Amino acid sequence: MDTIICLIAVIIIPFTLLSGEGLKCLECEYCNRPGGVEPKICDAGEGGFCVSVNVRDKEKDKNGLPISDKKIEVISRRCKKREEGFLAQKPLFCEVGKQVLHEHNVFCCQEDLCNSRDPKLLPIPKAKEDVPKSKSFPTGTVVGIILAVLAIAAMAIVAFFIWSRRRRESLHEPVTDVSVDTNPLMGSQPSSLKELCEWSQSGSGSGLPLLVQRTIARQICLIEVIGKGRYGEVWRGHWRGENVAVKIFHSREERSWFREAEIYQTVMLRHENILGFIAADNKDNGTWTQLWLITDFYEKSSLFDYLNRTTVTVVGMIKLAHSSACGMAHLHIEILGAQGKPAIAHRDLKSKNILVKNDGTCCIADLGLAVRHDSRLDKVDILPTDRVGTKRYMAPELLDETLNMEHFESFKRADVYAFGLVLWEIARRCSIGGIFEEYQLPYHDMVPSDPSLEEMRRVACVEKQRPAIPNRWQNVEALRVIARVMKECWYANAAARLTALRIRKTLASLLEQEEVRRV
């Protein structure tokens, strides 16, 4: 392998002594995948670095779909710009914890084409490794000083969180204390995310204590970018050999980061149809803040991508719809009591913000715009300052600005409208006898690709148009039911729309019915 790459490098080098002062590196994704990709040259710019990554991963075909459970070493090489290093002197993703060296390894360097080297992986450990406590902490005085500084910063942040929780406590049911001394990473050492999450649920139900979150965040190795948005980027990362998703916010998006972390840590929010939150962390070097939000990772990615890629069976369709409805209903419902949760409205429901899990059910993600209801004062916990969310999915009352922002119920109704559009996207992909509709976004035939508020208002409010229901849906019981539900979700009169609970119940009985039919 090495010799081939060296050969290629020798051939390519003459062509790259071209222009530019920036660092040149080899670039290839999955260089050793069957059918092999020849490395190209990329430009890491000034102060950038060359990276090669070795990941033990399932064997996959050219389209990235697993062909077996057998794991092989997969090499990727790429350029990293200086600004992608986060902490310029100490690029975060070049650091790999000892515990995961059998899962992945990273080699970073700063000479032209230096990343032809394949970082070595350790053999897969036989039994569960028992990492002694002392090993997870480096020694030495310099490190000691750094740790002390970090600890002070952490305490300041904890204090801030306690303060901000106190502030909320006056509004909500008793909120759990931020216990910093029951750190599971230092005590009985749960070794998996599942254990950690169970541990966190057994306590308050509102997530891990902040210092634990921080510890986890700092042990994560970033592997690859899997998504980009207006807020920043989403990465796939590793924590102790498990995949996690890391959403990294632009520093100007601090409010979104804070809000999303805050919503995720609402007491008792955890639910199988809501994206599992693991940790939030912010790192600051004085002038520049890096904001992380760490959640569960799902290979199939968003419902939008999933539907665009594949069709579904009748049961598959109902499972997607029903599980999404369960997620929305759990958000919307208020649970009373000490172990309760406030009602939450999502405010940005769409197929891109719903993830598909391996078992074909969905979970709702992206809670950055969500609002909570304080039922004691009958107030929305923050008053939205402007119309945000995705224009295509905005309910008519948002588009024409008649939504009563102080009435919490109206936000739930706007969610239900958006949910109706998602149902339409799902139903089109239900393949019966080989017949289905191609994947499209709602209103694809009525507005341009990035519609303005005005264009959406004309279509949804003035002309009162809604996505078309294909004739074939009338011939299939399940599609007929789903078509009726979506129509009742997108009534112009918000008060007439179904509630999330009603949708969940209707889809649950439809699912039961279809499953019985199949037996």
Ligand X SMILES: *[C@@H]1O[C@H](CO)[C@@H](O)[C@H](O)[C@H]1NC(C)=O
Chosen residue from 441, 461, 485, 486 binding ligand X by CB under 6 A: 441
In the complex, least distance from residue 320 CB atom to ligand X, rounded to whole angstroms: 17
| Contact stretch for ligand X (CB under 6 A) within 20-28, 193-201, 425-433, 437-445 | 437-445
The H or E element that residue 256 is part of is helix 254-264
Nearer to ligand X, 46 or 129 (CB): 46
In the complex, least distance from residue 106 CB atom to ligand X, rounded to whole angstroms: 18
219 binds ligand X (CB under 6 A): no
Task: Point out the annotated binding site for ATP.
Answer: 247
Task: Please give the size of the binding site for ligand X, defined by CB under 6 A.
Answer: 9
| Contact stretch for ligand X (CB under 6 A) within 98-106, 331-339, 433-441, 457-465 | 433-441
* CB-based burial, 493-505: b 16+ in 10 Å, e otherwise: ebeebbbbebbbe
Closest to 41 measured CA to CA, from 22, 19, 20, 26: 26
63 binds ligand X (CB under 6 A): no
What does the alpha-carbon distance between residue 419 and residue 498 come to, in Å, rounded to a whole number? 11
Q: Where are the beta strands (DSSP E) in 64-190?
A: 66-80, 104-109
Quick one: residue 161, left, alpha or beta (phi over 0 = left, psi -120 to 50 = alpha)?
alpha
| Contact stretch for ligand X (CB under 6 A) within 162-170, 282-290, 312-320, 490-498 | 282-290
SS3 content of the chain, % helix, strand, coil (to 5): 40, 20, 40
Q: Where are the beta strands (DSSP E) in 285-442?
A: 289-296, 344-345, 354-356, 362-364, 371-374, 379-380
Nearer to ligand X, 177 or 224 (CB): 224
What track of x and - describes contact with ligand X for positions 374 through 393 (by CB under 6 A)? --------------------
In the complex, least distance from residue 191 CB atom to ligand X, rounded to whole angstroms: 33
Nearer to ligand X, 58 or 283 (CB): 283
| Cβ–Cβ under 8 Å, residues 322 and 485 | no
In the complex, least distance from residue 287 CB atom to ligand X, rounded to whole angstroms: 4
Given the residues 118, 296, 348, 415, the one annotated as active site: 348
| Contact stretch for ligand X (CB under 6 A) within 20-28, 52-60, 150-158, 280-288 | 280-288
Tokens for 425, please give them.
């996207």
- 112 is known as an active-site residue: no
The backbone torsions φ and ψ at residue 508, rounded to the nearest 5 degrees and listed phi first, read -65, -45
| Cβ–Cβ under 8 Å, residues 409 and 444 | no
In the complex, least distance from residue 310 CB atom to ligand X, rounded to whole angstroms: 11
In the complex, least distance from residue 304 CB atom to ligand X, rounded to whole angstroms: 7
440 binds ligand X (CB under 6 A): yes
Torsion sign over Cα 196, 278, 300, 341 = positive
Task: Point out the annotated binding site.
Answer: 247
Closest to 376 measured CA to CA, from 329, 330, 332, 334: 334
User: Other CB atoms closer than 10 Å to residue 71's CB: what's the count?
Assistant: 14
Nearer to ligand X, 303 or 510 (CB): 303
Task: State which of positions 284-303 bind ligand X (CB under 6 A).
Answer: 285-288
308 binds ligand X (CB under 6 A): yes
What residues form DSSP beta bridges with 294? 246, 279
11 binds ligand X (CB under 6 A): no
Nearer to ligand X, 447 or 494 (CB): 447
Task: State which of positions 75-94 bind ligand X (CB under 6 A).
Answer: 88
Amino acid at 292: W
Nearer to ligand X, 32 or 308 (CB): 308
In the complex, least distance from residue 438 CB atom to ligand X, rounded to whole angstroms: 8
Nearer to ligand X, 32 or 251 (CB): 251
What does the alpha-carbon distance between residue 197 and residue 199 come to, in Å, rounded to a whole number? 5
Nearer to ligand X, 306 or 491 (CB): 306
Q: Is 6 helix (H, G, I), strand (E, B) or coil?
A: helix
In the complex, least distance from residue 257 CB atom to ligand X, rounded to whole angstroms: 17
439 binds ligand X (CB under 6 A): yes
| Cβ–Cβ under 8 Å, residues 186 and 218 | no
| Cβ–Cβ under 8 Å, residues 56 and 121 | yes
In the complex, the residues that contact ligand X under the rule CB under 6 A are 88, 285-288, 308, 439-441
Tell me which residues are annotated as active site.
348
